[in-house]
Structure 1
């Protein structure tokens, strides 16, 4: 949740963006309600030969806005020209300018294209996420948890997470990414990155190309289903091309071998795994540094009783019953399991008793 001061700054940036967008309307309003009364005050002479104050002139201009002049007719070409021109110009000003300005300022929850465009103009260094499906929504959630401003683009109004994103007040543009106005509405020129997460490889590539054309320095992350295409994109396009199958394959393969593995990823040629250890045989009495130096295992968190400590210091001594989340390469992980007398993966029936809630395998 943003603090009141942060929300105020957001509102001020939004108001400034609106003022830039409606600068012609605001300038015309200043001319009509600033210069107009001055001209009436200078030129108008009533039937009795008396002039009028600036306040009376402003009153007259205001009611001319509604086609209801408040001053008697006089034979003066400048006064009559103003009487004729101000009503239609003012009506056009109100209909096309002031009403839209007020609508965009007070009805920001509507999420129409113009609103999203104005909100995007208040952002700099934000991330544009294309696709409001399951992957796109999780990307948005993660980015917002890290405090990053996000603008989402989705082609279909009935996409899975459109309603959820709107409930969370995320700027959401319903538009076809092939439209030449789509990405400019997200202020992509000032964005730091774009995530192409639709379920169409060709559409993701087109979005990435358009984004690079508008912002050559933008960081591009592309979701691709074709692994071969992903490799070519990484090499020639210098973008992060991620395949769902390649990301899921190591985790699924390792989960089939050992359901105690929480997560897996690669660093170069090394397969890294994350697993939860309940401190039993071998580990009690060792400190965190000894586990790291002997087995290469980095302690990510330590749960003792009802207290969880992230990144426990090296001098913390492990006690029986502690639960330690450890990151290590797969061979180091196997060596650590063997040291604790758990070289074989547990039977599936014991799996849920071993892992804490929140760390359960999908299998």
Structure 2
């Protein structure tokens, strides 16, 4: 189970549900209406003034007067040319005014729809304001993109804040319809635009430790109950910040990756490793052999007798099985992913090598 590449994550990113997409489009429509509100008010004023003139000078009821004005706006002649001077002016002036307002409005809205970046901030504010229990992701580099992809696969609404307007993955974000704010997250206004008071957590993943810390403190001040996940390159500082500032999780990428580097150097079959408390846990790929320590045993027996868990089972006859049933019996040729303390897995591997030439692990 190799670590997925950026390209693989991009291909497998989850799509938003139809309801979410419709809501995104509705927010865009509202932004377009707000963008064209002056022209809409001008058009409404033209219709009202025209209707009042027809009512006063031609003694028509309001509905007919409004219809005549509406027809004039689109260049249609609703009745014979009037004898009244003011209505004669209306007959000449309203088609020009009305068509000018309509054409300008259509062109302006078309430009907004074609280039959403003209109103991106307002659209994102409107969309983010509708979110509840969402995750705010600060920093959209490689780590931010991987985090975002996993959150979307879990159907978790996300709001992104990124400082670089030319970021590598921003177009992917815009195509997904996710709210995006360009700017420095240390500005409180950006956190408020991201609707931080309704968010469940904030993940701060930029490459600037001090900026990350400042953003975390601002987020905690604006929303004291928010869960803060903080990226720090200095693990000693991360530990102190986690304890001293009540940050829920402060992580150093180097500290997270170091166990995997070390265990992969010792055992080629290692997929991943991590430290829980003082225990180094590893995940390794194994091939079940009939004469090996796993052959013929159930998943529960492997755990009970050897102290390791079978977290994934692959058979040529079906799809991979994640967290297989405890009663499932392992068969020769099965590919399994074992997880447990490194020392325990190494003892099991040594026993397997002593029982069968070539061992039972996958190279």
CA distance in structure 2 between the partners assigned to 1:242 and 1:111 by the alignment: 36
Q: Which of 186, 190, 198 is the equivalent residue of 1:182?
A: 190
Listed one character per residue, the Cα deviations across residues 79-119 of structure 1 (whole Å, up to 9, x for unaligned) are: x9xx9xxx9xx97x998x99888866776577722222222
Consecutive unaligned residues of structure 2, counting only runs of 5 or more, are 1-13, 76-80
Which position in structure 2 is the counterpart of 1:301? Answer: 312
TM-score (norm 1): 0.74
Which position in structure 1 is the counterpart of 2:8? Answer: none
- Residue 290 of structure 1, CA deviation: 1.2
Which position in structure 1 is the counterpart of 2:234? Answer: 226
SS of residue in 2 equivalent to 1:354: coil
- Residue 23 of structure 1, CA deviation: 8.0
Cα distance 1:22–1:165, how it changes in 2: closer, same or farther (>3 A)? closer
SS of residue in 1 equivalent to 2:353: coil
Matched, 1:53 2:62: yes
CA distance in structure 2 between the partners assigned to 1:197 and 1:332 by the alignment: 34
Cα distance 1:163–1:57, how it changes in 2: closer, same or farther (>3 A)? closer
- Residue 193 of structure 1, CA deviation: 1.2
CA distance in structure 2 between the partners assigned to 1:103 and 1:274 by the alignment: 53
CA distance in structure 2 between the partners assigned to 1:99 and 1:143 by the alignment: 38
Q: Which of 332, 338, 344 is the equivalent residue of 2:344?
A: 332
- Residue 237 of structure 1, CA deviation: 2.0
Which position in structure 1 is the counterpart of 2:134? Answer: 126
Which position in structure 2 is the counterpart of 1:310? Answer: 322
CA distance in structure 1 between the partners assigned to 2:114 and 2:130 by the alignment: 16
Cα distance 1:59–1:249, how it changes in 2: closer, same or farther (>3 A)? farther
RMSD over aligned Cα, in angstroms? Answer: 4.2
Number of matched pairs: 331
CA distance in structure 1 between the partners assigned to 2:67 and 2:309 by the alignment: 74
Listed one character per residue, the Cα deviations across residues 236-287 of structure 1 (whole Å, up to 9, x for unaligned) are: 2222111011111111122222222111122222221111111132322222
SS of residue in 1 equivalent to 2:293: coil
Cα distance 1:340–1:123, how it changes in 2: closer, same or farther (>3 A)? same
Cα distance 1:119–1:110, how it changes in 2: closer, same or farther (>3 A)? farther
CA distance in structure 2 between the partners assigned to 1:302 and 1:44 by the alignment: 81
